[in-house]
Structure 1
Amino acid sequence: MNCYPSLTADTPEQSAEYFRLASKMLVSNNLTLNAINFCLFYAYVTGRDPQLTKRLGQILESDSSLTEDMATSLLEQYICQGNQAKLEDLSQDFLQIVVRMMNSLVRLAEKTSKSSQRMEVCADQLSNIEQLDAALPIIETVISETRQLSNQTLNLQADLNSAQSEIVSLKDQVTQAQQEASIDMLTGLLNRRGMSQILESFFTNVEESHPQLCLLMADIDHFKAINDRYGHLTGDKVLSRIARILVQQIKGSDSAIRYGGEEFIVLLPETKLSNALIVAENIRNGIGKLVLKQSNTREIMSKITISLGVACYKRDESIESLIDRADKAMYRAKGRGRNKTVLAE
């Protein structure tokens, strides 16, 4: 399940080019070179998040200026997904790298300027000398300056290579933070945030492509009674086993989500209603066959069942409406005796 567009590791050459483009955009838009802005524009120039690219592009093309608050909000929404502590840590790490690279460039520029001045002096001196012996000390000065510039260039290249490696490592940490922010730790399924990202992407393109989407809303029957009788650790085990069955019954671009508590959602893009009903029934029957034992007593637990509601996207429908219809269908399934699948109206 792909819960977020991954920031794949780039080669040092690619990282250097992204660094150059991000820095250039900051300058051309009269923006401060700080951690937030650099992280945001670095992600922007990679082009890996279409939603970020679209949103930031709209802001840059408009008459309004990008403020610090706007940049922070965009970075948190699209890159760190609300993980504020991780956002601040990674921002500071990026800033340290940028500052170090910029300082190296400034030092080289200063030394290059001074060397250029000394070279000009040497050139003037050589133009007035007629004897080779008199020219030798000046030539030695030129050679010395050339060597120093060469050494400075090599040192800068080493600094840049080191910084590029650190950027790749930091991007891996960003990817991990994104995944942690979008995944339910108990079941390994997507959480609501991860689901929102998928649905936002779907509804962003829905007017152009008119894709199909079916949504299953599922709720474990009598889950409170399971917790009360067997304990919350056993309840967690039930949730994990049901999550495993959901994953087994989906494929491709399908996604399974722990919506909250004992509620689950399954997203089935490009799926007809008839096939969505088949998936729902396979899930229901698979859960009905579960045989679970308590860890301490080895007592076989009572049968686990689940009620499901199935809704398919209607043109011009909102995300909230789609979820609400599936939710109401699920509650009708419970009202009809539970352990059933009901189609939404």
Structure 2
Amino acid sequence: MSSEVDIDRSLNYGLKAIELSKAKQIPASPRNYELLFNYVSGENQELVGTVGKLLERDEPLSETVARRVYDEFLSPTKQAETVEEISGQLSDEIRQAMAVVHAAAGSSGAYGNSLEGVASRINDAATGADLKSVIETLALASREMERNSYELENKLAESENQINSLNERLEEMRTESRTDALTGIGNRKCFDETLAHEAATVDETQEELCLCIGDVDRFKKFNDTYGHQTGDRVLRLVASCIAGHVKGRDLAARYGGEEFAIILPQTNLRAAVTVADQIRERVMAKELVKKSTGESLGTITISFGVARYRLGEDVEELIKRADACLYAAKNGGRNQVKCEADAGVDLSMVA
């Protein structure tokens, strides 16, 4: 079912992108099409805001400006280049820190040699003047060592701060790459990676693992009636309800469009159904109100399909079963939860 929904949604976005290209006299290039497609889909709010402001202008969107926006938000090499840049800076900082340590080791060696020389001269000192000269030499060497130690401490502290800052940027990049920009929960990449990891873990531990896939009921009609901004509010509201019911190793993710997924490790089928039903009830209890007028837009409902992982299977089979259960929930009247153990769920196309 999700593939049919994705195709319809993609065709709709594609047609809107083409219409917008004609209306705004934007050259028909693959890059511009991808840019406008992402704009009308509304999934990247920063991109929507930037492109929206540009389209409000009277003049057509130039190739130069379109390329700049594309490179900023959609270029597939952008994140890789940023990670490579940060990694290079980290390597430089580590090399500098090592150089400081080696220099300090050299200073310590020189100080040790000075002490040995002073000890020899003390033994050979015949007069008070000789002894005074030895003491002055010792004091000078000690001050030099103290200065070097102070500089070493400052340089190492500076390097440590730089390295910590760069590590934080790398972690932010990693988190950003796994987070859905609109809803703030996990994105499809995060979902795919987490499900593969949890399945591999279960193959070793033989613990329970369940997957819930949910789809907002009649979302397209709602979106077309009230507009993309209100549709985005709906998606954020649903994501918030789902996120409020996950804990520990559980993962809430936006699976695509108006579909959401919940990965539930160490959870059996009936417990997973309970979680999905609690989320369904929480979503249904929310009333959406138009901010500008206070008008009630009614309630939102969501349907869920729930499946249990079978040891050693491909995770795609688990997804297909959860999707078949979701189809049964939709076909059965929406606003309900169906699992693979329920009567009326057809898994024949999955096997």
2:339 aligns with 343
Please show how residues 248-327 of structure 1 align to structure 2 within 5 Å.
248-301=244-297, 303-327=299-323
1:148 aligns with 144
Work out the CA distance in 2 between the residues paired with 1:116 and 1:290. Answer: 75
Task: Indicate which of 235, 240, 258 corresponds to 1:239.
Answer: 235
Q: Secondary structure at the match of 1:301?
A: strand
The alpha-carbon distance between structure 1 residues 121 and 203, as it changes in their structure 2 partners (threshold 3 A), is same
1:136 aligns with 132
Task: Indicate which of 147, 168, 171 corresponds to 1:175.
Answer: 171
Map Cα deviations across residues 283-327 of structure 1 (whole Å, 9 max, x no partner): 223333332133344443354322211101111122222112111
2:329 aligns with 333
Q: Which amino acid aligns with 1:340?
A: Q
- 1:209 Cα deviation after fit: 1.6
Q: Is the CA contact 1:223–1:262 (under 8 Å) kept in the aligned structure 2?
A: yes
> Which is bigger in relative contact order (C-alpha 8 A, separation at least 6)?
1
Work out the CA distance in 1 between the residues paired with 2:276 and 2:104. Answer: 65
Q: Is the CA contact 1:212–1:269 (under 8 Å) kept in the aligned structure 2?
A: yes
Q: Which amino acid aligns with 2:174?
A: Q
1:64 aligns with none
Work out the CA distance in 1 between the residues paired with 2:240 and 2:102. Answer: 55
Work out the CA distance in 1 between the residues paired with 2:139 and 2:293. Answer: 85
Q: Secondary structure at the match of 1:257?
A: strand
In structure 2, list runs of 5 or more residues that go unmatched. 1-77, 341-346
Q: Secondary structure at the match of 2:296?
A: coil
2:96 aligns with 100
- 1:148 Cα deviation after fit: 0.9
- 1:236 Cα deviation after fit: 0.2
1:217 aligns with 213
Q: Is the CA contact 2:213–2:261 (under 8 Å) kept in the aligned structure 1?
A: yes
Work out the CA distance in 1 between the residues paired with 2:138 and 2:267. Answer: 73
Q: Which amino acid aligns with 2:234?
A: V
- 1:257 Cα deviation after fit: 1.0
- 1:109 Cα deviation after fit: 3.5
TM-score normalised by L of structure 1: 0.67
Q: Which amino acid aligns with 1:149?
A: M
Q: Taking every aligned residue pair, what percent have the same amino acid on both sides?
A: 33
Instruction: Give the stretch that moved more between structures: 251-260 or 195-204.
Output: 195-204
The alpha-carbon distance between structure 1 residues 224 and 116, as it changes in their structure 2 partners (threshold 3 A), is same
TM-score normalised by L of structure 2: 0.66
Please show how residues 9-20 of structure 1 align to structure 2 within 5 Å.
none
Instruction: Give the stretch that moved more between structures: 235-244 or 196-205.
Output: 196-205
1:162 aligns with 158
Q: Secondary structure at the match of 1:271?
A: coil
Q: Which amino acid aligns with 2:139?
A: I
The alpha-carbon distance between structure 1 residues 310 and 138, as it changes in their structure 2 partners (threshold 3 A), is same
1:189 aligns with 185
Work out the CA distance in 1 between the residues paired with 2:134 and 2:218. Answer: 93
In structure 1, list runs of 5 or more residues that go unmatched. 1-81
- Larger radius of gyration between Structure 1 and Structure 2: 2
- 1:104 Cα deviation after fit: 1.9
Q: Is the CA contact 2:199–2:209 (under 8 Å) kept in the aligned structure 1?
A: no
Q: Is the CA contact 1:214–1:313 (under 8 Å) kept in the aligned structure 2?
A: yes
Work out the CA distance in 1 between the residues paired with 2:269 and 2:107. Answer: 70
Work out the CA distance in 1 between the residues paired with 2:327 and 2:308. Answer: 17
The alpha-carbon distance between structure 1 residues 128 and 215, as it changes in their structure 2 partners (threshold 3 A), is same
Q: Is the CA contact 1:230–1:294 (under 8 Å) kept in the aligned structure 2?
A: no
Q: Is the CA contact 2:202–2:209 (under 8 Å) kept in the aligned structure 1?
A: no
Q: Is the CA contact 2:289–2:298 (under 8 Å) kept in the aligned structure 1?
A: no
Q: Which amino acid aligns with 2:326?
A: M
Q: Secondary structure at the match of 2:291?
A: coil
Work out the CA distance in 1 between the residues paired with 2:214 and 2:255. Answer: 9
Give RMSD over aligned pairs: 2.7
The count of aligned residue pairs is 264
- 1:182 Cα deviation after fit: 1.9
The alpha-carbon distance between structure 1 residues 234 and 141, as it changes in their structure 2 partners (threshold 3 A), is same
2:87 aligns with 91
Work out the CA distance in 1 between the residues paired with 2:91 and 2:331. Answer: 57
Q: Secondary structure at the match of 2:319?
A: helix
